[in-house]
Chain A
Amino acid sequence: SYVLTQPPSVSVAPGQTATITCGGNNIGSKSVHWYQQNPGQAPVLVVYDDGDRPSGIPERLSGSKSGNTATLTISRVEAGDEGDYYCQVWDSGTDHVVFGGGTKLTVL
């Protein structure tokens, strides 16, 4: 089955840039989506189709892909950006949805 690999944790100081990666075999051929989840709350879609943002999501959050890695970049990090971030793709081979293991973002 298809596997997405994320670092368990990322730490960044306020005002700096956070980079969260998501690795997967041939991920360049797949559409990657990102979710933010705050403690005790449901996930929120923050980036879809590699780099598009739903309405209401600030431009500070952006998505990109290069080679076998997708990246969620959060610029000018704020305390409210703390939480867990998950990448997700659809595996056409199995017609299954796949999530990465999640990355906990800590704002120092």
Chain B
Amino acid sequence: QVQLVESGGGLVKPGGSLRLSCAASGFTFSDYYMTWIRQAPGKGLEWVSYISSSSSYTNYADSVKGRFTISRDNAKKSLYLQMSSLRAEDTAVYYCARWLTGYYSFDYWGQGTLVTVSS
């Protein structure tokens, strides 16, 4: 079955960097767009970034543009989010999710990884 497993979260100081990973299994990873979505503690969902199946196209929320970089390795069936210049407001659970082809929605989500930005 489809599985998405995030890793790489943790505690980081403001201004620091962190790289999140998402390991995919149970489907042909290279056929799907993928996305990162985050949720600050006690808050709602916020879309962060998405990447096309071949990495030819990416897009970012205004709140992270210029600081975060999404990438993927189809051979390794993995999605990544490189986060730099981290701020307290980046503290959140970060979910990777699979794009439902043709519908701009997300049909499978990982369990999330917590990123805490604090001194």
Contacts and interface: CB of A to CB of B under 8 A. Distances in A.
Nearest to A37: B45
B61 interface: yes
B50 interface: yes
Interface in B17-37: 35, 37
Nearest to B35: A97
Which DSSP category, helix, strand, loop or mixed, fits chain B's interface?
Answer: strand
B95 A42 contact: yes
B47 A96 contact: yes
B73 interface: no
Interface stretch (A19-27, A43-51, A67-75): A43-51
Interface of B: 35, 37, 44-47, 50, 59, 61-62, 95, 100, 103-107, 109-112
Given A43-B45, A49-B103, 12 more contacts: A33-B105, A33-B106, A37-B45, A41-B111, A42-B111, A48-B103, A96-B47, A96-B61, A97-B35, A100-B44, A101-B44, A102-B45
